[in-house]
Amino acid sequence: MNLTAWSDEFSVGIKSIDEQHKKIVNMIKTLHDALDKGKAPAVLDKIINGLLDYTGQHFTYEEELFDKYGYPDAGDHKKEHAKLDKRVLKLKAELDAGSLKIGEVLLLELLHDLLQNHILKTDKKYSAFLVGKGVK
Ligand SMILES: [Fe+2]
Ligand SMILES: [Fe+2]
C-alpha cells in the first residue's frame, strides 16, 4: 500500500512543529503496517493509544502558541483539531469492535486529510504569523 510520504512541501517553517508532524505521520504509517500484517488487537490498541495521545499533545502545543501570541484564526483552527480528535476516536472504536477493514479505510482517509488538508492548508496559515513571533 502506497501512502503519501512526508516531503518538504509539508514544512510550516517551524522546526518543533515539523518534527511533531513527521512523528504523527510515522505513527499513522506504523498503525497501517500493523493492520496490513494482521497484528494482534493488543498491538493495534497500543499503537492507536499512542497516536491519540500524541495528536492530543501536538494539538495542545499548537493551541498554546495561538493563545500565547494571539493568533487571529485560532477559533477555526481549534475546531478542526477537535474534529480530527473525534476521527481518531472513531477509528479506535472501529478497531476495538474488530472492524479492521473499516479501520483501514478511516486510517487512510485520516492520513490524507491530515497531510493534504490540515497541515498543507490550515497549519500553513499560521506559519508566517508564528515565524514572525520568533517561534522555532
Ligand atoms: Fe499540526
Ligand atoms: Fe493544527
Specify the amino acid at residue 120.
L
CA of 55 to the centre of ligand 1 (A): 8
Between residues 27 and 2, the one the model is more confident about:
27
Ligand 1 center–CA 125 separation, angstroms: 11
Residue, of 4 and 92, whose pLDDT is higher:
92
Q: Which CATH architecture has domain 13-132?
A: Up-down Bundle (1.20)
Ion ligand 2 neighbours (CB, 5 A) are: 62, 123
Using the structure block, give the residue that is written with the C-alpha cell 495528536: 55
Query: Ligand 1 centroid vs 126 CA: distance in angstroms?
Result: 10
Distance (angstroms) between ligand 1 centre and the Cα of 18 equals 8
pLDDT over threshold 80, residue 2: no
The whole-number average pLDDT for the span 90-94 is: 93
Q: Is the pLDDT of residue 108 over 90?
A: no
pLDDT tens digits for range 55-81: 999 999 999 999 999 999 999 999 999
How deeply is 126 buried, as exposed, middle or buried, from its count of CB atoms within 10 A (0-12, 13-18, 19+)?
buried
pLDDT at 112 over 90: no
pLDDT band with cut points at 50, 70 and 90 for residue 3: low
Compute, in angstroms, the gap from residue 55 CA to the centroid of ligand 2.
Answer: 10
Instruction: Supply the pLDDT for residue 29.
Output: 87
Give this prediction's pTM: 0.92
- Residue spans per domain, the chain: 13-132
Q: What distance in Å separates the CA atoms of residue 30 and residue 77, rounded to the nearest whole number?
A: 26
Q: What is the pLDDT of residue 86?
A: 94
Of 86, 84, 106, the closest CA to residue 95 belongs to: 106
